[in-house]
Amino acid sequence: MTEARPSSIREIAVTLGVSTATVSNALRGKGRVSPALIEQIRLEADRLGYVPDHAARALRTGKSNTIGLLVPNIGQPLFPAFAQAIERAAKQRGLAVLIGDSQGDAGQQDFEIRNMIARGVDALIVIPTRGTTVIQESISVPVAVIDSAVTAGNVAASDHREGGRKIARHLLALGHEKLLILAGPENSLVARERVEGMREVCFSANVEPTLKHSDATFEAGNVLGRELGLTRFTACAAAYDAIAIGFALAVRERGFRIPEDLSLTGFDDLMWAQIVSPPLTTIRQDLEAVAVHALSFVVGETDTSRIFPTDLVVRQSTARLSVPSRGDENAE
């Protein structure tokens, strides 16, 4: 049995009756090709199993056609979702993606940046590790930083502060004024933006929320849910879905009902938020739009930075305040 020969741009062009240049431009997102024809060419490329020959193109152009993506911790569920969005956007341009993991360590982040450049990536997209700054001027390839509006050199990010405002407005509209904010890490600019948005709306309504900082993990949320006294709160807003879900499981074990005794919100709209019981009210980021803009920046299609809107997703973990919160033997 002989191995199937990879299809070529010429085969796609012949099948569709267009030039090879048109096919090439469509697959790389270049030139003036109509959206309808681009879609037709990509569908035909998928049908034929076309795979770009990156090695041959690199020899011709002196470029690897590879983008490096560096994430803070691939084990946290938000970052694989970002990686998928980046990979989809890169594939549409005929580019490959090399993924590195900083493992939450500043030194590892520096190493991964150097390693990717040594491997010949044409550009870098970096989601920085907390407490670090990426100095684009010191890096020899184009760099796009994805973090927050207040991050130095940020190129693409969600509007985390406005997302926090939306959460606070939602809880206040339901009658909740005794608010607990699970604020995430103190050194995270993203968490700080989210929390400041919440506090801004609360203060304008003469509401003083209580803040508790922790790591941005399920385990940290679970510890908070076991240890905090909750009878003085009617609602809890977490800066991350992971914290909210860990917290929810712990407080339910203590006999608290969500949302009857305590309304709860998260931030990010991870898959967990949709399958936990009850499903979590949260903020959804447009990861696709953020990824596409970051990639457009590093390949030279735009030179501007953008902040993308977020959406409030209301599910069953929040409800109008109607009855007093239950007692708790561990209350402070």
Q: Are 196 and 164 in contact (CB under 8 A)?
A: yes
The two structure tokens encoding residue 238: 């977490």
For 63, phi then psi, to 5°, come to -120, 150
**The domain made up of 62-158+286-308 is a member of CATH 3.40.50.2300:** yes
**Predicted confidence (pLDDT) per residue in 33-85, tens digit:** 888 888 888 888 878 777 665 544 543 444 668 999 999 998 887 888 889 99
The vertex-80 CA angle with 54 and 237, nearest 5°, equals 155
Whether the model pTM is above 0.85: no
Nearest CA to 83 out of 91, 254, 177 is that of 91
Task: Kindly state the average pLDDT of the residues 120-149.
Answer: 89
Percent of the chain with pLDDT over 70: 89
Task: Write down the CATH number for the domain with range 160-285.
Answer: 3.40.50.2300
Residue 135 burial (10 A CB sphere; 0-12, 13-18, 19+): exposed
CA–CA separation, 156 and 85 (whole Å): 13
CATH 3.40.50.2300 maps onto the chain at 62-158+286-308, 160-285
**Predicted confidence (pLDDT) per residue in 212-256, tens digit:** 999 999 999 999 999 999 999 999 999 999 999 999 999 999 999
For 19, phi then psi, to 5°, come to -80, 160
